[in-house]
Amino acid sequence: MEENFKLDIKARPRRLRKSGAILDLCQETHVLPSDLILPVFIKEGKNGADKIPSMPGQFRHTVESLLKLCEAALRKGVRAIAPFPLVDPQKKSLRADEAVSEKSLANRAIAAVKKRFPEMAVVADIALDPYTTHGHDGILDKSGTWIINDETVEILTAMALMAARAGADFVAPSDMMDGRIGAIRDALDDCDFTETAIMAYSAKYASAYYGPFRDAIGSAPKSPGKSGQRKYLDKKGYQLNPYNSREAVREALLDEEEGADVIMVKPAGSYLDIISKVKDSTVLPIAAYQVSGEYSMIMAAALKGWIDLERVRNESLACIKRAGADMILTYFAMDVK
């Protein structure tokens, strides 16, 4: 090859990759602790936190240890949490009666956090699966195979009111029943909770990535399959079909019309196209949930030494943000700098 050969080109994009300083100046997407919501698991008792085997590095917290976690999160710039309760099996029922109790674990935790740390935003999960004996997100019909939509919405509405009274900044219906956003908005407004926002799980898919989460909250799994692996409840009758995208946009627009303040896509990492499509369809802020299965797969590979945990963690969150998420629910929230 001829010495000192040079291409006759003016556009050289690599000029903007010449140094770390230039790379930082030109970076399009940033993930900050203030962009993140930390999902936290809570339990009864005063014995500190319990490890969750299927989610390395994650714990079930008592209300007392949750307050310590919130203090640490605020120091790191994480200013929002989403608590999920492990409900005592003796308090579960077919109609999820504990879900509408003022003294439920979730409501006591919300009240405790808001009393100690009023600056911490709390996102209250509004769903019945932690409270039902069968693990579904609603009331079953007589056949035991179909969720009764409107009766479930009535209970969800009462649950949302209880969370608002406890001090939740957001109520987050994650059940995927039809019409529940409008019913909850009307009830909140009628009871003078006009400032309580709704973070709607508008595009929650019937995903296989939720397994570790269901372990963490004790949501009922089916019996082990032939391979010995646990088979979890089939929720395709109300959550979205993973093979579809247009219906996610339809759901988002319906929730916006009914009064949602934030639109959620769940899961996040394998649904970047959905985040992007929903982002393009609404002016509302977009939340995306990097779910337990996504977290656990990254952690498992890192523990095996197969990937660089920090780089993969940061890249995974950047991809979600780049796709259009304004805020991300992630178990990695405390690790982002």
What residues are annotated to the active site?
204, 266
What is the token pair recorded at 96? 């999820």
- Calculate helix-pair angle for 63-75, 105-116, nearest 10 degrees: 40
| 3-state class (DSSP) for residue 267 | coil
Alpha-carbon distance values, 172 to 57, 83, 151 (Å): 25, 11, 18
Q: b vs e for 95-115, b when ≥16 Cβ sit within 10 Å of the residue's Cβ?
A: bbebbbeeebbbbbbbbbbbe
Cα-flanking dihedrals φ and ψ of residue 125, to 5°? -70, 125
The Cα 119–Cα 101 span in angstroms is 25
The Cα 258–Cα 186 span in angstroms is 9
**Cβ pair 84, 126 in contact under 8 A:** no
